[in-house]
Amino acid sequence: MTESLLLVADDGAVRTLTINRPDKLNALNAATLDALLVAFDDAAENPAVRAVVLTGAGPKAFVAGADIAEMADLPAVAGRDFSQRGQRLMRRIETFPKPVVAMVNGFALGGGLELAMACHLRIGADTAKVGQPEINLGLVPGFGGTQRLLRLAGRAATLELCLTGAPIDAARAQALGILTRVVPAAELADATRTLAAQLAAAAPLALRAILDCVHVGGECAMSEGLEYETAQFGLMFATEDMREGTRAFLERRKPDFSGR
């Protein structure tokens, strides 16, 4: 991993990944995409990590987009390859077995919004702005923006954001379902830390099953999603965490989940 591009910090069972290119507003170049993919692979394999927070360095941007300087002179085949590189990362995050929270501390534009939308939950500062401005570059969103925005915000809002390229403020982004929660900028770090700690303390196997159920259900017919949910529900009865959780409820105490 290239440490200069990505900062990694652990606080208990929560790992924070900070994209560290503040002079470029944390724009996503190929090296940063690769560093993030390695970092998520490492977090997935580390049993001590139970939740991940993703954010950008500096006060201005979560991620202001893909690195235009790197893209400007790419031929068509290389452009397609860059899109595929980004989409591999977004898919990795979207299907990650542990909760991923985006802490949107400023601009989340283009590839930045696509990165945030791949995360399971998104907390934004009230000063944040989001958008898909690729049309202004003669491009289309390339890291899954048309598809994830469609699923989060609906057809009309997706067409508006992608066709006009105009950013929207945090309040509207929350109303459209793009941001999960909006808090005052001064409270963003604490609010994100509290949520991530809550997720990290929850039953890991149940968390993963819920993530899987929602992901599978979003890509299949209702009947298939219900069948998958039932299967996951049944599997939880074979876990120590389910026994611990039900015992703790009956004994009126806080559960201590082991991930087994």
224 catalytic? Reply is no
Let me know: does 148 contact 118? Beta carbons within 8 Å.
yes
Annotated catalytic residue within 114, 160, 224, 227: 114
From first CA to last CA, the distance across the chain in angstroms is 30
Order of strands across the sheet that contains 51-56: 6-11, 14-19, 51-56, 100-104, 121-125, 181-183
Give the amino acid at 130.
V
229 catalytic? Reply is no
Query: What are the structure tokens assigned to 238, written together?
Result: 């074979």
Count of helix runs (H) and strand runs (E) in the chain = 11, 10
φ, ψ for residue 228, nearest 5 deg:
-65, -40
Tell me if residue 59 falls in helix, strand or coil: coil
Let me know: does 51 contact 99? Beta carbons within 8 Å.
yes
CA distance 103 to 72: 29
Q: Which residues on adjacent β-strands are paired with residue 107?
A: 61, 129
Annotated catalytic residue within 45, 70, 134, 251: 134
Write out the catalytic residue numbers: 114, 134
